[in-house]
């Protein structure tokens, strides 16, 4: 079942989610929301979980429209790109005068999501190359990289102050950030890393960052056996 076939009430709730969490960021490749497990956001989480349930109760095949991933301290609510584009198109149509159509240039702009994703993949690939090649122990065939995926930041990094539990000293933490989903990493391997005999072999989710602008992941970048034949 397509988005347009959803009941009006469910479609309205989905449109509310899109408007609050995604609309002004979608052209940067951001089609997801991040929430922390705390009392302040408990009601919002509950409403989005209900939305997910309502979508699937209409038809189980709708499960991919809004996916939910739970982490130790929060949730990712991930709207599919196709549904994101359909919601944006609905809003564009609502702004047109009667008898008018959405300009083709506005429709074409909706594909900026894919261009933004491609650019983020390119930047993460460079990060993987550089981290692997600069490893101190050259005998190691893999290296772990901590990065923020699901970034909602305009800047290419996420930074925040943290306090040491023992010393109470404050220090700055900073992670390179990418508007990518963990499901995009297969494409990272296929399009960028495998040709360089590298591969992200392990993807470990760690936590929602306290800024709620990204999710910390640990990626293991591994050098492939030179005797291995690549099959694509």
pLDDT at 232 (0 to 100) = 55
φ/ψ of residue 58, rounded to 5: -65, -45
Q: Do the Cβ atoms of 68 and 17 come closer than 8 Å?
A: no
| Residues 41-74 pLDDT 10s | 999 999 999 999 999 998 888 888 999 999 999 9
Confidence at residue 131, expressed as pLDDT on a 0 to 100 scale: 97
Confidence of residue 23 (pLDDT cuts 50, 70, 90): very high
Please give the average per-residue pLDDT across 124-149, as a whole number. 96
Enter the DSSP assignment of 189: I
pLDDT at 28 exceeding the cut of 60: yes
Q: How many CA atoms lie within 13 A of 38 on its CB side?
A: 7
Report the CATH architecture of 3-110. Answer: Orthogonal Bundle (1.10)
CA gap 27, 66 in Å, rounded: 18
Q: Cα–Cα–Cα angle for 65, 155, 68, nearest 5°?
A: 20
In this prediction, residue 231 has a pLDDT band, given cuts at 50, 70 and 90, of low
pLDDT at 227: 66
Q: How confident is the model at residue 82 (pLDDT cuts 50, 70, 90)?
A: very high
219 band by pLDDT with thresholds 50, 70 and 90: very high
pLDDT range class, residue 36, cuts 50, 70, 90: very high
Q: Specify the pLDDT at position 229.
A: 62
Q: Give domain limits for the chain.
A: 3-110, 116-223
Burial class (CB in 10 A: 0-12, 13-18, 19+), 129: middle
| Whether the predicted pLDDT of 123 surpasses 90 | yes
């Amino acid at each position: 079942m397509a988005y347009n076939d959803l009941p009006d009430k469910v479609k309205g709730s989905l449109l509310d989610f899109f408007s609050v969490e995604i609309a002004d960021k979608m052209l940067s490749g951001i089609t997801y929301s991040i929430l922390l497990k705390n009392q302040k956001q408990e009601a919002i989480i509950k409403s989005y979980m209900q939305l997910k349930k309502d979508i699937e109760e209409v038809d189980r095949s709708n499960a991919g429209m809004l996916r939910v991933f739970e982490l130790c301290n929060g949730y990712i609510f991930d709207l599919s790109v196709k549904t994101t584009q359909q919601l944006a198109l609905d809003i564009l149509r609502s702004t047109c005068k009667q008898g008018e159509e959405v300009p083709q240039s506005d429709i074409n702009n909706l594909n900026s999501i894919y261009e933004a994703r491609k650019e983020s993949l390119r930047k993460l690939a460079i990060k993987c190359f550089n981290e692997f090649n600069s490893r101190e122990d050259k005998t190691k065939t893999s290296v772990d990289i901590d990065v923020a995926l699901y970034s909602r930041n305009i800047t290419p990094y996420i930074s925040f102050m943290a306090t040491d539990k023992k010393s109470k000293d404050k220090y700055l933490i900073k992670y390179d950030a990418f508007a990518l989903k963990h499901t995009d990493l297969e494409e990272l391997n296929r399009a960028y890393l495998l040709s360089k005999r590298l591969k992200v072999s392990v993807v470990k989710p760690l936590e929602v960052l306290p800024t709620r602008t990204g999710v910390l992941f640990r990626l293991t970048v591994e050098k492939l056996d030179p005797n291995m034949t690549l099959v694509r």
